[in-house]
Amino acid sequence: MVTAKKKQVPVLEGAWTVPSSSREKPQLIGSECPHCGEIYFPRKAKSLCVHCQREGLKDIKLSRRGTINTFTIIMQQPGGNYYHGPVPYAIGVVELPEGVYVETPLKADRLEDLTVGMEVELVIEKIWEDQATGTELIGFKFQPV
C-alpha cells in the first residue's frame, strides 16, 4: 500500500549545504578555480575550469546575501510541462559579494515591490508541488532582506 507521503526532490543535487543545527543557515555551493580565481554557480560536475581550462575546481560556500542585478515577473505559464509553480512568478539575477551572478527564482510578498539593487537573501524551500505525482520540488530562492 502506497502512502500519500510527499516525495521531496531537490532541483539540483548538492547545490546547497544542509544545516546540521538550527543555528546554521543553508548556503549555496559553487566551484572556485585555484588557478584563475573564477567562481561558478551552480558547482561544476567536472573539475575543469571553463574560463582557464585547467583542472582543480574546488567547492566554495557562497554568501547568503546579495543584490538584485536584474529581474522580471513572468505573467504566463512556461512552455512544456516542466514548471508547476504559481504564475505570475519572478526570476532574476542576484550578484553575490564573491562576484558571482546567480540566476534564481525571487520571492516577495508583493512581486511588484522588487527593484534592481535591492538586498536579498537565500532561502531553501518548496518551489512547487506537482499534484499529479505528489512530488515537491525543493530549490533555492532569494527574498528581500
Partner 1 sequence: MKITEEIKALREVVIAGVGITKWGVFPDQEWYDFGSEAVLLALKDAGMEFKDVQTAFCGSCYQGVSSGHKVMAEIGKTGIPIINIENACSSSSSSLRLAYQMVATGLYDIALAVGFEKQRQKGFIPSMAYRPWERALGFNVQPASYALQTVRYMEEFGISVEDFSLVTVKNRKNAMLNPNARFQQPVTLDDVLNSRMISTPLRLLHCCPLADGAAATIVCSKDKVKQKKRAVTIAATTMMTGTYGEENISRSSAKFSGPTAHMIELAAQQAFEIAGCGPEDIDVLQVYDAMAPGEIWDIEKLGFCKPGEAPHLLREGYFDIDGKLPTNTDGGLMGRGHPMGATGLAQIIEIAYQLRGEAGQRQVPKAKMGLAHSLGTGPNSVVTILKK
Residue holding cell 585547467? Answer: 54
Torsion of CA 63, 106, 47, 59, to 10 degrees: 20
- Integer-rounded Cα radius of gyration of the chain: 17
The smaller minimum CB distance to partner 1, of residues 24 and 74, is found at 74
Report in angstroms the alpha-carbon separations of 84 from 9, 15, 93: 13, 21, 21
Q: Is residue 29 a contact point for partner 1 (CB under 8 A)? A: no
The answer to whether residue 38 forms part of the interface with partner 1 (CB under 8 A) is yes
Instruction: Compute the least distance from the CB of residue 139 to partner 1, in Å.
Output: 6
CB of 31 to partner 1, least distance (A): 10
Query: From the CB of 15, what's the least distance to partner 1, in Å?
Result: 9
Binding mask 53-92 for partner 1 (x = CB under 8 A): ----------------xxxxxxxxxxxx-xx-x---x-xx
Can you tell me whether residue 100 is helix, strand or coil? Answer: coil
Q: Which residues bind to partner 1, rule: CB under 8 A?
A: 11-12, 38-42, 50-51, 69-80, 82-83, 85, 89, 91-93, 95, 98-105, 116, 127, 137, 139
